Amino acid sequence: MAKKEPEQTGKRPTSTRKPSRPREDVKPPERPASSSRKKQEPAPTKAASRPRGKRTQPPPEPPRHKRNLRLRALIAVVLFTLVAVLIIEPSILDAIWPFDAPAPQAIADPDAPLATFYAPAVLHWAPQIEAWARAYELNPNVIAIVMQIESCGDPEAISFAGALGLMQVMPLHFDDGENMLNPDTNVRRGMNFFNECLRQYADWDIGLALACYNGGPGVVYRDMSTWPAETQRYYRWATGLWEDVVRGDGESPTLDNWLESGGQSLCTRAASRIAEEAS
78 domain residue, yes or no: yes
The H-assigned helical ranges of 137-174 are 140-150
The length of the chain, given as a count of residues: 279
DSSP code at position 271? H
Instruction: Tell me which range, 30-34, 74-78, 121-125, is most confidently predicted by mean pLDDT.
Output: 121-125
Would you say the C-alpha torsion 266, 271, 272, 276 has a positive or negative sign? positive
123, 116 contact by CB (below 8 A): yes
Q: Is the pLDDT of residue 45 over 60?
A: no
Asked if residue 181 and residue 267 are part of one domain, the reply reads yes
**pLDDT number for residue 73:** 82
Burial class (CB in 10 A: 0-12, 13-18, 19+), 198: buried
DSSP code at position 166? T
Asked if residue 137 and residue 81 are part of one domain, the reply reads no
**Among 98, 102, 132, which Cα is nearest to 244's?**
102
- Give the list of residues 6+ apart from residue 230 with CB closer than 8 angstroms, or none: 214, 215
The letter for the amino acid at 133 is A
By annotation, the residues acting in catalysis are 150
pLDDT by residue (tens digit) across 222-267? 999 999 999 999 999 999 999 999 999 889 999 999 999 999 999 9
7 domain residue, yes or no: no
- Give the list of residues 6+ apart from residue 94 with CB closer than 8 angstroms, or none: 101
**pLDDT number for residue 61:** 62
Q: What is the chain's percent helix, strand, coil content, to nearest 5? A: 50, 0, 45
140, 133 contact by CB (below 8 A): yes
Return the bridge partners of 169, or none: 164
Asked if residue 231 and residue 129 are part of one domain, the reply reads yes
**Number of separate domains in the chain:** 2
Asked if residue 243 and residue 141 are part of one domain, the reply reads yes
Query: Which CATH number characterizes residue 169's domain?
Result: 1.10.530.10
The range of the structural domain enclosing residue 83 comes to: 71-101
H helices, E strands: number in the chain: 11, 0
Asked if residue 209 and residue 89 are part of one domain, the reply reads no
Asked if residue 177 and residue 267 are part of one domain, the reply reads yes
Asked if residue 179 and residue 93 are part of one domain, the reply reads no
Asked if residue 209 and residue 149 are part of one domain, the reply reads yes
Asked if residue 154 and residue 78 are part of one domain, the reply reads no
Q: Is the pLDDT of residue 7 over 80?
A: no
**pLDDT number for residue 125:** 97
Statement: the pTM of the whole predicted model exceeds 0.95? no
The span from the CA of 190 to the CA of 46, in Å, is: 87
251, 227 contact by CB (below 8 A): no
Q: What percent of the chain has pLDDT over 90?
A: 58
Burial class (CB in 10 A: 0-12, 13-18, 19+), 232: middle
The span from the CA of 230 to the CA of 214, in Å, is: 8
Q: Is the pLDDT of residue 103 over 50?
A: no
Q: What percent of the chain has pLDDT over 70?
A: 70
